[in-house]
Amino acid sequence: MEKFGFKLSKPRVIDFDRNDKSVAEFIHANEPSFRLCIECGGCSATCTAGNFIPFSLRELHILLKRGETEKVKDNIEKCMLCGKCSLVCPRGVNTRNIIELAKRAFKIPELHAV
């Protein structure tokens, strides 16, 4: 509420103690190649959706690992599951499965809730 002529700025600190890492843990458990990602950005560079709209699989990957799941929730539906990212990944990460698992986790919270 801007009552006094100024506003509160929310801190931009990544608070690992408070963030919810249960989605990332659920993906780790079901798709071990999630750990192999080196965040090179090959997936984002080749992404069909990312060429036209603001969408980056690399960014979502990092956000999931940090536990900032709200931002992932809003963006993950933009993926068209074309699979080009899996073809270019130098580490052989099964990116399509990661997307599917994340979507499932958001749809059925009981799967990963602590």
Partner 1 sequence: MKNEGRKRIWAEYQKKIADDHFFYVRSCIRQSFFPGSEQFFLNFMRDVLGKDVYENPSHTTCTGIGYHGDIVPFSTIMTVVARHFALMTEAGYKNIAISCVTSFGIYTEIIETWKHFPEELEKTREYLYKATGREFNIPENMAHTSDIIYKFRNEIAEKAKNPLINRQTGDPLRVVEHIGCHYSKMFPKYGVGGAEFPRVLSGMAEAWGGEVIDYPERRHCCGFGFRQYLVQANRGYSISNTVKKFDSMKPFKPDLVLTNCPGCNMFMDKWQYTIREMEGTTYGENGESIPVLTYEELAGLVMGYNPWDLGLQYHMVQSEPLLRKMGVEFDGQDKFKTKDGRQMPVPENLINV
Q: Which two tokens mark 104?
A: 């499932």
18 binds partner 1 (CB under 8 A): no
Taking the complex as a whole, the smallest distance from the CB of residue 88 to partner 1 amounts, in Å, to 41
Say how far apart CA 61 and CA 71 lie, in whole Å.
11
Residues 37-66 that bind partner 1 (CB under 8 A): none
Q: Looking at beta carbons only, is 6 or 52 nearer to partner 1?
A: 6
Query: No. of H helices and E strands in the chain?
Result: 6, 0
Q: How far is the CB of 8 from partner 1 (least distance, A)?
A: 6
Name residue 18's amino acid.
R
CA dihedral for 45, 36, 98, 68, sign (positive or negative) = negative
Report if residue 8 touches partner 1, rule: CB under 8 A: yes
Stretch that binds partner 1, among 1-9, 27-35, 81-89, 97-105 (CB under 8 A): 1-9
Buried b (16+ CB within 10 A) or exposed e, 22-46: bbbbbbbebbebbeebeeeebbbeb
Residue 11 lies near partner 1 (rule: CB under 8 A): yes
Nearest-approach distance from CB 3 to partner 1, in angstroms: 6
Q: Applying CB under 8 A, which residues contact partner 1?
A: 1, 3-11
